[in-house]
Chains A and B, each alone.
Chain A
Amino acid sequence: MTTRHDNELVAEEDAGREELTAAAVTIGRRGLLRAAALGSLGVGVLGALTETLAAAAEPATTTPSGPVKQWCMIIDLRLCNGCKVCTTACQTAHYLHEDQTWMNVYTMTNAAGENYFMPRPCQMCEDPACVPVCPVGANFRTPEGLTLVDQSKCIGTRICMNACPYDARYFNWSDPVPAPRQPFKQEPEWPVPQVKGTVGKCIDCAAMLPTGQLPECVTNCPMGVLYFGDLTSDAAVNGMGATIKISTYLAENDAMVFKEEYGTHPRVYYIPGHGQDLNNNPSA
């Protein structure tokens, strides 16, 4: 999957960067998907030779335009109204069952007894608890910092569901929702349709990122709660078109990570604002 990323990064790098900074999804999303699909086809026609050359020409850790992106998400809890549009958008895009809430919005209660809402995507931990426990190595972390599941390897032991402290993993207990032909092939970066008897989870819409698109939840959030960005360029953008400098934004707004004491080093940063105690968790 790295070669695919590399190729598309070569092609889409500039467009992707512009979009991230300009923050407006100016090109029609579907159009871009189609273009990307055609691009992949083209690569396919040129054959493995091009891919091999491209892979050989570039060290695995860098792309022509700089270091590998390090994706992260910033969630501004002050803005979330609990509408769950993100959940629906995610489930529509990935053809998930209703209870497969890869992007789950929890209704929490703060110390004053008031409710607030907390979206919970995969935390994309730097030290994920789910990866080492898999007996067949079906979980892995990409160079861009995304933890993904290879559903062609997964045998369904569910020990990763046991390990994840964020309840972020969802099993396919029955046949998956049927999906039409997808712009990407079924792979860890785009596990659509899901595979019965294997584990699925939020992928930060990994296959769309190289094309310069934001994850579905971020694009569709009507409140601008979710920011998606790259730690190496220190910029993130939300679905409303606002761009932030990550380091400044996190520092100024007292950002925190969920269950920091677990040492998982999540790459999802929460901006609190309701007096909530994010670390009031069951096993702290």
Chain B
Amino acid sequence: MTDVIISNEGREQSAPQNADLRAAALRPVLETPRWWWPSVIVLTVLVLGGIAAWVYQVANGLGTAGYNDGAFWAIYEANLVTFIGVSYGGAVVSAILRLTHAAWRAPLTRIAEATALVTLPIGMVFIIPHLGDPSRIWELVWPPYWNLTSPILWDFFAVSTYLLATIVFFYLPLVPDAAIALETLEGEVPSTRVTVRKTLYRVLVGRFGGTPYEHRRLNGAIGLIAIMIIPMAVSVHSVLSFAFASSSRPGYMETILPVYFVVAALYSGVALVVLTVAASRKLFHLEAFVTPRHFVRLGFLMIAFGAAYLYLTFTEYLIDGYSGTAGASAWVYQIVAGRYAIPFWLYFVAGGIAPLFIMMFKRLRTTGGVVVASLLVVAALWIKRLVIVIPPATEPLVNSPLAKGGVLAGNWGTYHFTWVPISITVAATAAIPLLLLVVFRFFPILSVSEIEELAEEHGTQEVGA
């Protein structure tokens, strides 16, 4: 990169010019690997399958999704929490590590922010199959219908605000990268692909000229959003928990629930970032920038949240099981020893203990080990969300279990998994890699300007670049 199109004087002189870095960041944009189209087609088919299942559900009622009056909330509500939860990884890796000046974050931020950008809307989409009558969903955005005392409406406001912040948080660090990408693309042979990208980058760059002053202002703005997005992220999952907790239902009416939800979201969010970073590293050959050390550090961050989550689970069940009301005790016993014991202990072993165990030993703490741990966490935390959502919704409130002669008695409702919600869940899961492939088709996969800046400050060794 010798000819600098964008005037960038102050920076260009000192920042290390890393041609490898810039090429790697734009490789997914410019090259189509052999696996790209087949993957996109398979994932699209899965997504379309989910949409077809949803159409079937709309035509035949929510009963086709296994719901009934004895289990009024179940898989869609759990998925809503799960998918919005995993979007927290972006906020954590990017915002928290930025605020704590952890230089090693640099090669990960773009991937983490893209993961957040992609998973949050997928989570929000679960509002649609969740509703009994999705044709009237517009009432949620039409103020005359708003009932401001409703926790669901608070959710809607909180998540929408967070989505906006996530988009801005993805966009701002992209501005200098788009300028760099534009500069790189000047050397490319003109083609439709290049022209489209150039137009896009020009729009993104706007009037950003790359002067030191502009960089300072931009970094100030990013810092501000990074600060704002943390309380926003905390509020989203807290408010999401209010929809459950603002009731008198045993198992939902827990003051611990907001904290519990936030920590679970951070835990699973970091785990998903590990997975997307690992996949991107492999598929787009980022080994030179994303090193095994990154995975170990992310792994430590993950199990810090994991340990906190185990602790919260323990306190919640201990207190409710030991001294809770009849209904709360019945709910705890059903989870630890009753009809919900298998999924709960599955979470406990796979999502609670195993990741800690993997990170505890140096020989297991490899890239592969961290990836396995993260896979376990993401899957187990989905199961845990089912264990959070379903048991209270199935507990009978009138003919109480204790009145029927024991904590495990009573006419508990049953949720039946059917192909409809399973197809929709598979579709949502497939939508994550699909949308990420599309995002990295258009935007540099590495935060080039951030990496260069931090490499200059801390040395390439620390950043990994």
Please report A residues at the B interface, Cβ cutoff 8 Å: 99-100, 104, 106-109, 118, 120, 129, 132-137, 153-159, 161-167, 170-175, 195-199, 262, 277, 280-284
The A-B contact count (CB < 8 A) is 168
**Inter-chain contacts of A107 with B (CB < 8 A):** 399
- The CA of A135 and the CA of B143, in the complex, are separated in Å by 11
Residue pair B147, A282 in contact (C-beta under 8 Å): no
- Closest A-B pairs by Cβ, 3 of them: A156-B132, A282-B327, A173-B63
Residues A198 and B400 in contact, CB atoms below 8 Å apart: no
A162-B243, A173-B68 known; 4 new pairs, CB 8 Å cut-off, are A153-B136, A159-B247, A171-B62, A196-B133
Separation of A281 and B153 alpha carbons in the complex (Å): 29
Q: Is the CB of B62 within 8 A of A197?
A: yes
By a CB distance below 8 angstroms, the chain A residues around B248 are: 129, 163, 165, 262, 283
Instruction: Give Cα A174 to B330, complex, Å.
Output: 31
Contacts of B396 in A (CB 8 A): 167, 282
A residues near B393, Cβ cutoff 8 Å: 162
B61 touches A108 (CB 8 A): no
Are B398 and A166 touching (Cβ within 8 A)? yes
B147 cross-chain contacts in A, Cβ below 8 A: 132, 134-137
Q: Give Cα distance in the complex from A281 to B73, angstroms.
A: 21
User: Chain A residues near B249 (CB, 8 Å)?
Assistant: 162-163, 165, 283
Check if A133 sits within 8 Å of B246, measured CB to CB: yes
Of B37-45, B402-410, B443-451, which stretch is located at the interface?
Answer: B402-410
- Measured in the bound complex, the distance between the Cα atoms of B131 and A136 in whole Å is 12
Within the assembled complex, what's the spacing in Å between the Cα atoms of A199 and B69?
10
Let me know if B133 and A156 touch, CB within 8 A. Answer: yes
| A137 to B146 CA separation, bound complex (whole angstroms) | 7
B201-251 residues at the A interface, CB under 8 angstroms? 243-244, 246-250
Q: A159-B152, A159-B243, A165-B248 are in contact. Are A283 and B63 (CB under 8 A)?
A: no
Residues in B lying within 8 Å of A, measured CB to CB:
60-64, 67-69, 72-73, 130-134, 136-137, 139-140, 145-147, 149-153, 156, 243-244, 246-250, 252-253, 325-328, 330-331, 393, 395-405
Contact of B403 with A155 in the complex, beta carbons under 8 Å: no
- Who on chain A is nearest to B393 by CB? A162
| Residues B325 and A284 in contact, CB atoms below 8 Å apart | yes
Cross-chain contact A133 with B61 (CB below 8 angstroms): no
**Distance of A155 Cα from B250 Cα, bound (Å):** 25
Chain A residues contacting B145 (CB-CB under 8 Å) are 136-137, 153
Give chain A residues whose Cβ lies under 8 Å from the Cβ of B152: 133-135, 157, 159
Look across to chain A and name the residue whose beta carbon is closest to the beta carbon of B331: A282
Q: How far does the alpha carbon of A173 sit from the alpha carbon of B146 in the complex, in Å?
A: 24
- Please tell me if the beta carbons of B133 and A173 are within 8 angstroms of each other in the complex: no
Q: Which among B61, B137, B395 is the interface contact of A196 at CB below 8 angstroms? A: B61
CB contacts (< 8 Å) of A129 on chain B: these are: 247-248
In the complex, which residues of chain A have a beta carbon less than 8 angstroms from the beta carbon of B136? Answer: 136, 153-155
Shortest CB distance A144–B (Å): 21
Contacts of A196 in B (CB 8 A): 61, 132-133
CA distance A37 to B92 in the complex (A): 63
From B63, B131, B399, contact of A174 by CB (8 A): B63
Minimum CB–CB distance for A173 against chain B, Å: 3
- Chain B positions within 8 Å of A165 at CB level: 248-249, 397
Residues on A with C-beta less than 8 A from B146 are 135-137
